């Protein structure tokens, strides 16, 4: 039987933090004590966890001293500040921010893809970008069988990728639009109701956004394929929850849709939903609040010799963030890596 | 000065028919008489055109005998039935349906791409699929300069692609969702509010939808590139109007984003909106009711040697249907091809 651990969640009141608590409860993670940490302004907030009520504390070194593992669900700057303090106090950090993902020596892990990387951690394990997690779960089994040569992906990303504020803004914009009032953007760059915004995160190199480049940089690190060719286009869509991805990939070995369907049907964390004649394909309205990555519309990419086109959808707050972090924590505990 | 013609619109009361009347008025098309035709149930409906009120008639051979040109904005089956009757009565048909698009001897025309094909018509000129028109206006100038080798496209298609009924269904679904009521789909396969549906038109070959294959078959015919490699994924999104397309293309000659920007900035019917640092890129909320194809996010496809990624948006009822048909009619009149 697994040992019981003391677990901290940093940013417990946010969208991802809240989801982490749900996932810990659902998966019956053996926790001796759950410490909920957040911004001092949230101190005293009461959070439900299983049958308990947990009072939110402000972040202290003392809390990290007590905790064996801390799930970080805060922004990059706060992670950069607090994670080293946790590590110094012998608390293993599983960090959901961008802060450490590309740092050498920090494992960047999707358990279905590179669980073994967790072993080499030096205190911090990074949880990848949501779109990247979803994509790698779907393409890694194909890579193992056929060898990936190139990936072209266009995303359709839900507003909850920007947290609760993103959900609220879509809500407000929908209501404003329906009343014929002005939609005032603050979370997003432009009104998001009945619109599409091809701009997530900031523009970095070659006029790609960082969201797009994360799908390149992080996928390469997770899959240990430093030269994998990837081009991404990331688009925000007026969907509350679950990111969708249209993926065209090329393989070294000859590949067929039947083969990919077979490979994915036995891949961990994947559910194949692919029967066009029965109108069966993944859609964000139906994959939300689920942990798996759903794959459908698997077909030959008719524009290339060895290619596959497919449509991938998953709840980016669950598998794209909270669930993936909890899965990492499960391995840390099981393999006694704390 | 151009001759004045007698023009008929078949399906004048529908979304595309109505838009055709608007476009004819806006472009000040010289019309001696406009005959509005529709289903017998619509007979007597009064439609505004410029300062006139036009009474809708049911379709008769007499009407086609009077008309020099008929713009057809009806379904494939009705086009198949009525277009030959119009042609027999010396009325040139510009047909917006799928009925004749791939028929040998029928020109399939995007004026910015293959206006010269109009000359060879034998009574019917086909107006292409909306997503195809939008894509070809953007990629043809690039082909002329760099030689197109392969196109991978993922679409984000507005509900008005399914006509007024599609708009009404999104409206109803949004309202139902907000009230916590069930969303009942009838136009679309599933609820469309806050959802994405990777299924437009019926499934045909290799598990592609006909909407996806139209972008292959029709693009090849319009561009006279019968072997052009194209793979499309067509997705319905909860946007009222304007289709968007994420396009990754490969060229034979070395290509740069700067070169493509330059080529497109002088291409007919294209507006380049591409300054990421100024948050300038096309979005469907702002391209609606416009005639041009808007292109932005032009950047190197970093996954291939000679490749470009770009984001293309246009009003599919205007340039994707009505405007394109009226442009064809203008050429028919100017070149005296009726």
pLDDT in tens, A249-297: 999 999 999 999 999 999 999 999 999 999 999 999 999 999 999 999 9
Could you give phi then psi for residue B7, rounded to 5 degrees?
-120, 135
Between CA A96 and CA A288 the distance in angstroms is: 19
Contacts of A251 in chain B (CB under 8 A): none
Contacts of A150 in chain B (CB under 8 A): 303-304
**Structural domains of chain B sorted by starting position, each given as residue range(s) with its CATH number in brackets:** 5-127+321-334 (3.40.50.720), 132-316 (3.30.360.10)
For residue A1, is pLDDT > 60?
A: no
Return the pLDDT at A4. Answer: 81
For residue A125, is pLDDT > 90?
A: yes
Q: In 3D, which of B185, B280, B293 has the Cα closest to residue B238?
A: B185
Q: Is B44 an interface residue toward A (CB < 8 Å)? A: no
Return the pLDDT at A251. Answer: 98
C-alpha angle with apex B49: B46 to B53, nearest 5 degrees?
40
Annotated catalytic residues of A are 130, 243
Between CA B86 and CA B65 the distance in angstroms is: 7
Return the pLDDT at B4. Answer: 81
Q: Of the candidates A230, A239, A296, which has its C-beta nearest B195's C-beta?
A: A239
Return the pLDDT at A2. Answer: 53
Q: Are A160 and A316 in contact (CB under 8 A)?
A: yes
Between CA B51 and CA A165 the distance in angstroms is: 48
Does the distance separating the beta carbons of B244 and A246 come in below 8 Å? no
Q: Is A246 an interface residue toward B (CB < 8 Å)? A: yes
Between CA A225 and CA A227 the distance in angstroms is: 6
Q: Chain A to chain B, count of Cβ pairs less than 8 Å apart?
A: 171
Number of H helices, E strands in chain A: 10, 14
Q: Are B32 and B4 in contact (CB under 8 A)?
A: yes
Does the distance separating the beta carbons of B246 and A235 come in below 8 Å? yes
Q: Residue A308: enclosing H or E segment and its boundaries?
A: strand A307-314
The pLDDT of A24-39, averaged and rounded, is 96
Return the pLDDT at B2. Answer: 52
Ramachandran bin of B13, using left for φ above 0, alpha for ψ from -120 to 50, beta for the remaining angles: alpha
By CA distance, what is B310's nearest residue in A? A233
Give A140's Cβ-side CA count (13 Å radius). 26
The pLDDT of A27-35, averaged and rounded, is 96
Spacing of C-alpha B137 from chain mean position: 11
**pLDDT > 90: what percent of chain A?**
98
The pLDDT of A102-117, averaged and rounded, is 98
Interface predicted TM-score of the whole assembly (ipTM), two decimals: 0.96
What is chain B's pLDDT, residue by residue, as a tens digit (338 residues)?
A: 456 899 999 999 999 999 999 999 999 999 999 999 999 999 999 999 999 999 999 999 999 999 999 999 999 999 999 999 999 999 999 999 999 999 999 999 999 999 999 999 999 999 999 999 999 999 999 999 999 999 999 999 999 999 999 999 999 999 999 999 999 999 999 999 999 999 999 999 899 999 999 999 999 999 999 999 999 999 999 999 999 999 999 999 999 999 999 999 999 999 999 999 999 999 999 999 999 999 999 999 999 999 999 999 999 999 999 999 999 999 999 999 99
Between CA A78 and CA A42 the distance in angstroms is: 15
Separation in Å, CA of B143 to nearest CA in chain A: 16
For residue A22, is pLDDT > 70?
A: yes
Q: Is A238 an interface residue toward B (CB < 8 Å)? A: yes
The pLDDT of A131-138, averaged and rounded, is 98
For residue A148, is pLDDT > 60?
A: yes
Q: Residue A178: enclosing H or E segment and its boundaries?
A: helix A163-178
């Amino acid at each position: 039987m697994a040992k019981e651990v003391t677990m901290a969640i940093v940013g417990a009141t946010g969208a991802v933090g809240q989801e982490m608590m749900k996932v810990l409860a659902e998966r019956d993670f053996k926790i001796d004590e759950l410490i909920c940490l957040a911004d001092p302004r949230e101190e005293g907030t009461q959070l439900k966890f299983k049958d308990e009520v947990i009072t939110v504390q402000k972040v202290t070194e003392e809390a990290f001293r007590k905790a064996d593992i801390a799930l970080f669900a805060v922004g990059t700057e706060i992670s950069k500040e607090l994670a080293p303090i946790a590590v110094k106090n012998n608390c293993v950090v599983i960090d959901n921010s961008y802060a450490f993902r590309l740092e050498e020596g920090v494992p960047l892990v999707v358990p279905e893809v590179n669980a073994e990387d967790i072993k080499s951690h030096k205190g911090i394990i990074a949880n990848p970008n949501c779109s990247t997690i979803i994509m790698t779960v779907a393409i890694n089994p194909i890579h193992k069988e056929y060898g990936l040569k190139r990936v072209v992906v266009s995303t359709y990303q839900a507003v909850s990728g920007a947290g609760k504020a993103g959900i609220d803004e879509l809500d407000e914009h929908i209501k404003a639009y329906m009343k014929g009032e002005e939609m005032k953007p603050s979370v997003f760059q432009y009104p998001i109701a009945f619109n599409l915004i091809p701009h997530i995160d900031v523009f970095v190199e070659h006029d790609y956004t960082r969201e797009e480049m994360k799908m390149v940089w992080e996928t390469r690190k997770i899959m240990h394929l430093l030269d994998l060719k990837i081009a991404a286009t990331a688009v925000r869509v007026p969907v509350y929850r679950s990111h969708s991805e249209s993926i065209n990939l090329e393989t070294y070995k000859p590949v067929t849709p039947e083969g990919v369907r077979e490979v994915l049907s036995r891949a961990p964390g994947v559910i194949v939903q692919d029967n066009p004649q029965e109108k069966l394909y993944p859609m964000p309205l139906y994959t939300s609040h689920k942990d798996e990555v759903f794959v459908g519309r698997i077909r030959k990419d008719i524009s290339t010799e060895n290619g596959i086109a497919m449509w991938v959808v998953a709840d980016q707050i669950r598998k794209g963030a909270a669930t993936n972090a909890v899965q990492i924590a499960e391995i840390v505990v099981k393999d006694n890596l704390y």
